[in-house]
Structure 1
Amino acid sequence: MRWRRGLRGREVSSFKQLLETISGIVPCTGEKDGWRWNATKDGKFTTSSAYETIAKEKREEASCSAVEAAKVWNAPTTHKAQVTAWRSLKNRLATCDNLLKRKIQITDEERWCNACVMAEETVEHVLLHCPKTEQVWNFIQQWINIETVTPKGLSQHFLSFFHASKDKRWRNFLKGLWIGVVWSLWRCRNESRFQGKVWDVQKVVQEIKGRMWSWNSIFHIVDINIPFSSWCSQGMVLDSL
C-alpha cells in the first residue's frame, strides 16, 4: 500500500486501527460486492437499528468515566500509548470478541487467546486475566514494590494501580507505568497473532522497564540519578523515590 505523502500524527494510529479491524475479514468469493447494514440480521437499514447502535455506543463511552479519561490523556506517555489505553478502557480494541460483535468472520480457532489458548480472547483477558499477562503484572509490581488486588474489570484495575501511592509524583509514574504495561501487552498480542512471534514474559517485562526509562527521560516524571542497570533491578525504582 502506498500513500502520496507520509502519514502524520494521529493518522499513523488510525491506520493501525484500520489494519486491526480488517485483518480478520474473510472475503466471500463468487459474490458481487454490495452494501450491508450490520446492525440488522437481513442487512437492511432501519432507523430503529441506527438509534440502538448510537445508544449502545453512548453507553459504552459512559463506562469509562471522565476522571479515568483525564488520567489517561494527561499521562506522561506517548500519544499512541494513550490511545491504546483509552480504547482498552472503552473496550474498543480489536479483540476477537469485539470483531465478532462487528459481524467480522473469524474461525473458531482464532477466537482463542493466542498466548494461553485457554479462554476466548477479550480485552480484559488479554490485558488482565491471561496467565502470561498475570505474570507480567506480578513482575512489574515486584519491580516497584507494590501490592494490588487484581479486580475483574480493567477500569477498576487502572484506578487501584493509580491509587497504590499517596505521593503525587509517584502516582504520575504509576499512571504512566500502567499505560506502558497495557501498550506493551497489546503490542505483544499483535506480534504473536499476526507475526507468529512467541510470547516471552521476561522480554515483555524488560521492554516495559526500558520504555519507562525512556519516558522518564523525556517527560521528567521523577528525579532518579541511577544507571539503567540499577533502574531495571527489582525494587530500585521505589527505593529511589
Structure 2
Amino acid sequence: MAGNFLLDVNKNVRAQSIWWRDILRIGGEESGGWFKSNVCNVLGSGNLIRFWQERWLGHESFMNLFPQLYAKSLQPDAPITAFGSWSDDNWTWSFDWVVELAQDDMDAATEMSILLADIRPKKECLDHRKWLMNHAGMFTVKSAYCFLQNRDSFLTINSNVVDALQDLWVNDVPSKVNIFGWRLLLARLPTHMALVRKGIINNPCEFCCVFCFREEEEIDHLFFNCSVSIQVWKKIYKWMAVDFIPFEEGWKHFMSFGDLVTSKRLAKTRHVIWLATTWSIWRTRNNIVFRGDVFNLDALIDQIIFISWFWFIGRLGVNTSFVFYDWCNNPLVCIDSI
C-alpha cells in the first residue's frame, strides 16, 4: 500500500481504518514510537495540523520547543490557521494567552516569532503527512519493512521457525488459515497470557487454560501440551494410523507432522491436517470463551476430519477418485498416492 496519507499519529485513532490502527499500534511507544518518528507534516492551508502538538516545522513540535508557552496558550489544541489571519496575500501570526506572559516567556515568544517569520500557510494547498523512509514521501509496506529490518532492536526469529514458516506458506489452504498458522508459529495469538502481558487481563482467575483449568494459557500449552489437546492429537494420529509423538514446541510439532507425508509431489497438502487440527482447536477455544460452549472431543475430531477433507478435495479438483469414505479410513494413503 502506498500513497499520501492524512492521519493523526498523536491522538485517538478510532476514526482511522483498522489497517492504520494496526500500523500505529505496532509502531507505538512500546516499540520505540518508530512509526510516529518517521512521519512529518507538510504545511498547506493549516486547517488539519495542530500548531502546538504536531511536528510541522523542524524535527520537534512547538509544544516541546516552548513548553512554557504551550502551557499558557489559550488554544493548545487548535490548528495552525487559528494562530493568524490573512489580509489580502499577507499572513500575520497572532497568539492569545491565558495569563500575561512573564519576561522569560516574552523572550521565548520572541524566539518563536523569529522561527515563524518566513513561514505562512498556503491557501490553495491541503495539509498532508510525509513518510520520511521513502524519498517520494509516500508510505509503502516495503519501506517500513526495510526500516524494521535495519533496527538494532529488531526481533530475530529462530531459524527453525523461519524454516517452518517457509513450509507453511506452501500449503494450499484458505488464506485466513495460513495467517492463523503464521501467528501460531510466531507465538502471536491472543491467548490469555498474551493478553496478560499487554495489560488487557489483570484477574489471575482468567490466566488459566480454558480446556484444563490447571496451567496458564500459553500457546504451546494450549495447542500441544494441555491434557485435553493431547487427547485431540492422539485421536488424530490414530486416525492417520501412525504412532503419537508429543512435541512441546509449535515449530517442532509442525515439522514432525509434515514428515508423516512421504510424497514429495504434493507439498501443498503436507500440513493440511495439522492446520485443520490447530485451527479447530483455536475455534473451539474461542467458542468456549465467547459463547459458553462445552468442549466435546468427538465433535471436534469429526470437525477436523471434515474440514481437512474439504480443503484437501477442494484443492485437488472434482476429478479426484477419492471419496470422503477413503479420507475417513486413511487420509495419508489419499495424500501419498497423489
User: What's the TM-score, normalizing by structure 1?
Assistant: 0.70
State the match for 2:202 in structure 1. Answer: 106
Question: Cα distance, 1:103 vs. partner?
Answer: 2.2
1:237–1:147 distance in 2 versus 1, CA, 3 Å = same
Determine the C-alpha separation between the residues in 2 that align with 1:39 and 1:124: 25
State the match for 2:11 in structure 1. Answer: none
Match 1:168 to one of 257, 264, 284: 264
Identify unmatched segments of 5+ residues in structure 2.
1-16, 33-147
Equivalences, count: 196
Pair 1:237-2:331 in alignment: yes
List aligned pairs for 1:145-184, cutoff 5 A: 145-169=241-265, 172-184=268-280
Give percent identity, aligned residues only.
24
Tell me, yes or no, if the aligned pair for 1:100 and 1:106 is still in contact at 8 Å: yes
State the match for 2:155 in structure 1. Answer: 58
Pair 1:116-2:212 in alignment: yes
Question: Cα distance, 1:131 vs. partner?
Answer: 1.3
Tell me, yes or no, if the aligned pair for 2:170 and 2:268 is still in contact at 8 Å: no
RCO higher in structure (CA 8 A, sep ≥6): 1
Quick check: which has more Rg, 1 or 2?
Answer: 2
State the match for 1:211 in structure 2. Answer: 307
| Paired amino acid for 1:66 | V
More strand by share: 2
Match 1:125 to one of 199, 221, 234: 221
Identify unmatched segments of 5+ residues in structure 1.
1-6, 22-35, 41-50
| Paired amino acid for 1:157 | H
Match 2:234 to one of 138, 146, 164: 138
| Paired amino acid for 2:155 | K
State the match for 2:14 in structure 1. Answer: none
Pair 1:80-2:181 in alignment: no
Match 2:290 to one of 189, 194, 199: 194
Q: Secondary structure at the match of 1:128?
A: helix
Determine the C-alpha separation between the residues in 2 that align with 1:101 and 1:56: 19
1:78–1:64 distance in 2 versus 1, CA, 3 Å = farther
Determine the C-alpha separation between the residues in 2 that align with 1:57 and 1:84: 22
1:64–1:106 distance in 2 versus 1, CA, 3 Å = farther
Tell me, yes or no, if the aligned pair for 2:272 and 2:312 is still in contact at 8 Å: no
Question: Cα distance, 1:116 vs. partner?
Answer: 1.0
More helix by share: 1
1:103–1:156 distance in 2 versus 1, CA, 3 Å = same
Determine the C-alpha separation between the residues in 2 that align with 1:152 and 1:177: 18
Determine the C-alpha separation between the residues in 2 that align with 1:224 and 1:141: 24
Determine the C-alpha separation between the residues in 2 that align with 1:63 and 1:57: 15
Tell me, yes or no, if the aligned pair for 2:171 and 2:270 is still in contact at 8 Å: no
User: What's the TM-score, normalizing by structure 2?
Assistant: 0.51
1:39–1:66 distance in 2 versus 1, CA, 3 Å = closer
Tell me, yes or no, if the aligned pair for 1:113 and 1:120 is still in contact at 8 Å: yes
| Paired amino acid for 2:279 | W
Question: Cα distance, 1:62 vs. partner?
Answer: 3.7
Cα deviations across residues 175-226 of structure 1 (Å, max 9, x unaligned)? 11111111111111111111110111111111111111111122119x8634
Cα deviations across residues 101-140 of structure 1 (Å, max 9, x unaligned)? 2222331111111111111101011111111111111111
1:128–1:155 distance in 2 versus 1, CA, 3 Å = same
Pair 1:91-2:187 in alignment: yes
